[in-house]
Chains A and B, each alone.
Chain A
Amino acid sequence: MTALTARAAPWVLATVVLTAAALVVATDHGLQPIREKVRADAVRAMLSEVPMPPYDNDPATATSAVMRHEGASYIERIYRARRGGEPVGAWLVVRAPGYSGEMRLLIGVRGNGMVTAVRLLSQRETPGYGDRIAGSEAAWLGGFEGRALDNPLRRLWSVSSEGGAFDAVSGATITSRGVVHAVRDALAWYAGSEVAAPQPPVAAPAP
């Protein structure tokens, strides 16, 4: 076979480029179900770390982006747990300022506004100090279990050196305060918009 002449060059190149593009698009399309399944599995694994009252829906799909600033925290996303269609609680993904950069927290809240558990998803705190809330002081996060906006009173949602009700991890006051405030802000947002707002529809009053 002889090589084609130079006049064919643009057409050959165009054919190669279009074929490659078609292949990439087709692959991307074919990968979509795998992508969704893997993503949902990762979410379920993450959520299973934080306990929740019994529910029968799939929270990985009962989710929406929140994207709301609340205090210094940023409520990123909510995953809702329902039982028989009634909300029983939710997981909130919250970003909060730490000592160095952002921390991401997963906060489980019951329908009544009580914290089930708090997990640290990622952090960049100082090794040996702030990062101990993910390591040797991980039990510290257990102190949030059962807390709610009125337990302790709202003005006491801070670290003890600022008159709050929470002892800071020693040497990591700023990190600890960030977490305490993040949980408070998440609860406040949840109480304000998720619990209060979507009331079941009430029949219109008779005129």
Chain B
Amino acid sequence: MAESGFGRDCCGVAWQGNPVLLRLLGLCPLLAVSDRVVTGLAIAILFALTMLWTQPLIAMLRDVVPVAVRLPCQAVIAACGVTVLHAAVQAALPPLAAALGVYLPVLAGCCLILVRAEESAWRRPVISAVRDAVAHAVGVIAFMAALSAVREALGHGTLLRDLELIVPGTGWSGFQVLPRGWRLPIASLPAGALLLFGAVLAVRNLIAAGRDGPAVRA
């Protein structure tokens, strides 16, 4: 994987340039539903799909769209993709749409997607924009998997609870990873998301400082 440039790109973005950790962008829709692995991963995957929809389209249209209207065009393309995704989730998995609440439609205004559109897709050929979108999607999914797993394990004492939000019909209540009654309720509250996020950021910066030298900006 590491010998191909694309694999290295993915790892590079996921770790060194992780969009969430390094730039603190897109926090609101992502952190808000990261109290469970199922919802955390769901929003991360929906984020990835939005990236894969917006970035190539914007790269394709960059020769056609005049500079003066590029921002509204980017916003409309992102909003269109998110609206379609939202309608699809509401139709096929209504409980998941209810669990994600407003944080799914709010992806349309996710600054991370709009910033990548303007910074990257608008300035690159399509193939390169797709690679960038995939790399960012991988970074966000990895980050959300880790954060939501820690939050769910501490806050609820389980992993993969409410799986039936994604796979209807499984009456499965998840792995019990902590003894019943042992839990840290704050981890599943919004404040816990920010506290743990800070902790993850600190650990990442510590490791990065050891490896790359102290020049990590946050």
Show the binding face of A for B, using Cβ within 8 Å: 1-6, 8-10, 12-13, 16-17, 20-21, 23-24, 27-28, 31-32, 34-35, 38-39, 42
Smallest Cβ-Cβ distance to B72: which chain A residue: A13
Given pairs A16-B76, A20-B76, 11 additional interface contacts (CB within 8 A) = A1-B63, A6-B68, A8-B66, A12-B64, A16-B61, A16-B73, A23-B84, A31-B88, A32-B91, A34-B91, A35-B90
Contact mask for chain B residues 71-94; partner A; CB cutoff 8 A; 1 contact, 0 none = 011001101100110011011111
Task: State whether B87 touches A9 (Cβ < 8 A).
Answer: no
Interface centre among B61, B65, B67, B93 (most CB of A within 10 A): B65
Check B215 for interface membership: any CB of A closer than 8 A.
Answer: no
**How many pairs of A and B residues are in contact by the CB < 8 Å rule?**
62
Given A13-B73, A20-B79, A24-B80, residue A38 in contact with residue B66 (CB < 8 A) = no
Q: Whole-angstrom distance between the alpha carbons of A27 and B67 in the complex?
A: 29
Residues on B facing A (Cβ under 8 Å): 61, 63-69, 72-73, 76-77, 79-80, 83-84, 87-88, 90-94
Q: Is the interface of B mostly helix, strand, loop or mixed?
A: helix
- What is the interface of chain A mostly: helix, strand, loop, or mixed? helix
State the Cβ distance, A185 to closest chain B Cβ, in Å: 28
B92–A17 touching, CB < 8 Å: no
A12 B76 Cβ-Cβ under 8 A: no
Q: Which residue of chain B has its CB nearest to the CB of A22?
A: B80
**B94 proximity list for chain A (CB < 8 A):** 38-39, 42
In the complex formed, the residue of A with least CB distance to B62 is A3
Determine if B69 and A12 form an interchain contact, defined as CB atoms under 8 angstroms apart: yes
A–B pairs, 13, beta carbons within 8 Å: A3-B65, A4-B65, A6-B68, A9-B69, A12-B64, A13-B69, A17-B76, A20-B76, A20-B80, A24-B83, A34-B92, A35-B91, A39-B94
B contact residues around A5 at 8 Å (CB): 66
Are B66 and A31 within 8 A (Cβ)?
Answer: no
